Chain A
Amino acid sequence: MQGIYSNKTNTKKRINKDGMYLFVLALPFVIAVFLFNYLPLAGWIYAFFDYKPGIPLNKVPFVGLEKFADMIVNSEDILRVLANTLALSFLSILASPLPVGLAILITEVKSSKFKKVVQTITTLPNFIGWVIIFSLSFAMFSSEGVLNQAFMNLGLIQEPVNILGDEKNVWLFQTLLLIWKTVGWNAIIYLAAISGIDSELYDAAKVDGAGRFRSILHVTIPGVAPTFIVLLLLSVGSLLNAGSGMEQYLVFYNPMVANKIEVLDLYVYRQGLVINDYSFATAVGMLKTIVSVMLLFIVNSISKRVREDSII
């Protein structure tokens, strides 16, 4: 009897010792995550002071919620960048069925070689950085670019059109670029979903007299719908990221399109580092984070209720 007890305590002690040792091993990584991901949260305190770079925080006046009130004062700007952000987000959500379409088209190809070529090539742009994409766009769409040259040679236009400086169509243009970059990559997940569909369903549809369109409509599309809905919900959760985050709009930013391309993240960066109003920029960024996290919780609870599964 006693032997068993002492054995147990020994094991327990040993586990504790091992557990402590593992904890020590894990600690550096936990500290790294704390420093790079959690410590910046402490910077939210700057939103409540009138902070000027170079002056320590204890020497600048505490202003309470004044910086948040400034958002109402600057409501014209805030509403403008919010409209840009939401417009770009909605356009990218509107484009979200395109990868489904591409996946269906690729699946319908019979030649496996052609299939592979299409898949390999369309996935490539996802791994090309925005700086390079900006350079490619410049080569294609600027006043001296290929497109203008071709149209002028064909006599379709008299004067070159600077597409990169076209304020009216900048939302559409940026969305098209984002589609170009991501459509192939986003199609992969649907290709997997389609290959997971039970082939008996297709056979049954055929027996019932369904042609290709009908079996796509009644078998393939319902088969990928759950995946589509999860991704759609996630994209609603990142509504304030304007489709792709700030990098894309930072590289394509120029004075001609500034009014329409300045998304929330870009506005925060410019208010902070360019105009040097750190506190106001922090306040805006803080609200953005809070709203984003709330959105994520909302879509997650919708997902839980509708699909009985959480997405985060």
Chain B
Amino acid sequence: MKNSYKKFDGLAFDIINYIILTLLVIITVYPFYYILIYSISDTSMIHSGVTFLPAGFSLQSYKDVFALRGMASGAVVSLTRTVLGTLLTVICSTFFSYIVTKKELIFRKSIYRFVIVSMYFNAGFIPWYLTMKALGLRNNFLVYILPGAVTAFYIILIKTFIEQMPPALEESAKIDGAGYITIFVKIIFPLSKPIIATIAVFCAVAQWNAWTDNFFLVENPKLTTLQLILYNYLSQSQAISRASSRELTQGGIVRQLSPQAIKMTMTMVVTLPILLVYPFMQRYFVKGIMMGAVKG
């Protein structure tokens, strides 16, 4: 009697648990699914709205979005900053981490502390803004990639990783006469692949999503990122109709563009790269937070 009650209790728990988690999955997925079906719907059939299935099928919205002024260059800027920014951060942070693991380095502790402490404060918005300006980074592509090149948090992770390597690896190379840079390039960097992959993934996502540096410091339309283009379109609904009608006359198209379809499609374009790489990168993300937890 008591046993069967317990069994039922377990079953009820399972059912409720599955319901809660399924709901959570739906709440998470649906917004993405919605913009997907909206973006591939036929704009002439969309007026009644879509809920679960696309209304018709057309890739016209994608053509319209890519025909908008700035989109193509925005995609190039976003891709460039993601690739270059990630490379620079990975190389600088790894190399610096390697140097501070060397006991011979003079002022080793102070140098390490100097870098790590920077994680715990920031001077505030205006001093940051004025410094960037003074350093000539205003309207400069470098503002996207330089400030994050040496990131304290990544350095903690990489340093911990390098310190766990057997010192014998390095010593044998040293006996063969290899210098620090050779050892780093030939031994440390290749052996750090797991941590480098994790950091590269974090960094790439952060670069792709970044837009405030663009918003505050870069006005040059040639250097505008996809994220800021999307933000501008979203925050000024009028700009959408203005811009799209302008493109209309330019392209000689007479069909009316749907501002909502353009917004949704643009959002899809900006989200898609993350959605595509995410399933392959997920294990690195998880690894990253675990390693962070060691220190945190």
Contacts and interface: CB of A to CB of B under 8 A. Distances in A.
A4 interface: no
Nearest to A17: B104
Contacts of B24: 102, 118, 122
B263 A188 contact: no
A43 B130 contact: yes
A121 B25 contact: yes
Main secondary structure of the interface of B (DSSP, over half): helix
Contacts of A227: 293
B127 A43 contact: yes
A207 interface: no
Contact of B92 (A29, A129, A312): A29
Contacts of B127: 40-44, 46, 282, 285
A131 B230 contact: yes
A29 B120 CA distance: 18
Contacts of B200: none
Contact of A105 (B21, B95, B124, B135): B21
Main secondary structure of the interface of A (DSSP, over half): helix
Nearest to A270: B125
A173 interface: no
Interface in B16-68: 17-18, 20-21, 24-25, 27-29, 31-32, 34-35, 38, 49, 51
Interface range, B side: 35 or more
Interface stretch (B159-167, B189-197, B243-251, B278-286): B278-286
A18 B103 CA distance: 10
B9 A212 contact: yes
Given A132-B267, A293-B121, A123 B129 contact: no
Contact of B126 (A16, A184, A272, A312): A272
Contacts of B130: 40, 43, 46, 278
Nearest to A117: B25
A222 B48 CA distance: 52
Contacts, number: 241
Contacts of A265: 125
A134 B227 CA distance: 11
A127 B230 contact: no
Contacts of A46: 126-127, 130
A120 B283 CA distance: 9
Nearest to B31: A136
Contact of A138 (B9, B105, B211, B263): B263
A292 interface: yes
B234 A134 contact: yes
B205 A26 contact: no
A37 B105 CA distance: 23
A282 B123 CA distance: 9
Interface in B262-291: 263-264, 266-267, 270-271, 274-275, 278-279, 282, 285-286, 289-290
6 A-B pairs closest in CB distance: A285-B124, A43-B127, A129-B209, A40-B123, A37-B118, A19-B106
Interface of B: 6, 9-10, 13-14, 17-18, 20-21, 24-25, 27-29, 31-32, 34-35, 38, 49, 51, 92, 95-96, 99-100, 102, 104-107, 111, 114-115, 118, 120-131, 135, 146-147, 149-150, 152, 180-181, 205, 208-212, 216, 227-228, 230-231, 234-235, 260, 263-264, 266-267, 270-271, 274-275, 278-279, 282, 285-286, 289-290, 293, 296
Given A38-B118, A109-B18, A130-B209, 5 more contacts: A35-B131, A265-B125, A273-B129, A273-B216, A281-B124
